[in-house]
A and B are shown apart, each in its own frame.
Chain A
Amino acid sequence: NAGVTQTPKFRILKIGQSMTLQCTQDMNHNYMYWYRQDPGMGLKLIYYSVGAGITDKGEVPNGYNVSRSTTEDFPLRLELAAPSQTSVYFCASSYSLAASTDTQYFGPGTRLTVL
């Protein structure tokens, strides 16, 4: 099992450019998540998905879009990159939604810089 994989590991974008952060999991988890971590801050939930075709906003969704066409993949799209989106992005997946019943498994992260 590869677990949760993310690509790319690093990326530098210019203001206004767009890109897609890829996330794939091979654990057949229904639930997937995107977080961002800014320096000195905890992980903030951007979007999550409870299954193929179903997504919902988290705490900080502005400037991002997601889709979930398969159980395995949950890409995160940045349409018009802004310096405020400079962060480390983590994808995660879990068997259930409640933390008390199942832990989340995280990918290694994508470090994004917007200049």
Chain B
Amino acid sequence: DQQVKQNSPSLSVQEGRISILNCDYTNSMFDYFLWYKKYPAEGPTFLISISSIKDKNEDGRFTVFLNKSAKHLSLHIVPSQPGDSAVYFCAASYGNKLVFGAGTILRVKS
């Protein structure tokens, strides 16, 4: 029972273009959403988050959009850079519960 799904295992984008990573969730109890980024041989690191009371949160080149009615969130990276190549995990939480998606591998080609 995967409550948080990242349906695209991988994504390839040209440098300078927009990267859009998607995430769907099933549990309507989730009220806080996070994106983590992971480089090879390193642990995940926090990237950006959004509360369910908002529909957008922006931090530099990274923007997360939340569509509660569709139970969908997305991470936009503009412009994409080769250093953004990593695995991106979507996570959702309510209370003390935190559920992770399987991750999407992003490759930014120069």
B4 to A42, Cβ gap below 8 A?
yes
Indicate whether A98 sits within 8 Å of B96 (C-beta atoms), given known contacts A42-B101, A42-B102: yes
The A-B contact count (CB < 8 A) is 58
Interface residue tally on B, bucketed by range: 20 to 34
Indicate whether A106 sits within 8 Å of B93 (C-beta atoms), given known contacts A42-B100, A99-B34: no
- A99-B98 Cα distance, complex, nearest whole Å: 7
A90 to B91, Cβ gap below 8 A?
no
Interface size on A, residues (CB 8 A): 22
Chain B nearest CB: distance from A38 CB in Å?
9
Indicate whether A108 sits within 8 Å of B34 (C-beta atoms), given known contacts A42-B100, A98-B93: no
Indicate whether A90 sits within 8 Å of B43 (C-beta atoms), given known contacts A99-B93, A103-B34: yes
Of the candidates B2, B43, B45, B93, the one whose C-beta lies within 8 Å of that of A100 is: B93
- A74-B36 Cα distance, complex, nearest whole Å: 22
The digit string for A12-41, where 1 denotes a CB below 8 A from any CB of B, is: 000000000000000000000001000011
Chain B nearest CB: distance from A46 CB in Å?
13
The digit string for B29-66, where 1 denotes a CB below 8 A from any CB of A, is: 00110101000011111100101000000000000000
Determine if A7 is an interface residue (Cβ-Cβ < 8 Å).
no
A108 to B96, Cβ gap below 8 A?
no
User: Residues of A at under 8 Å CB distance from B?
Assistant: 4, 9, 35, 40-45, 90, 92, 97-100, 103-109
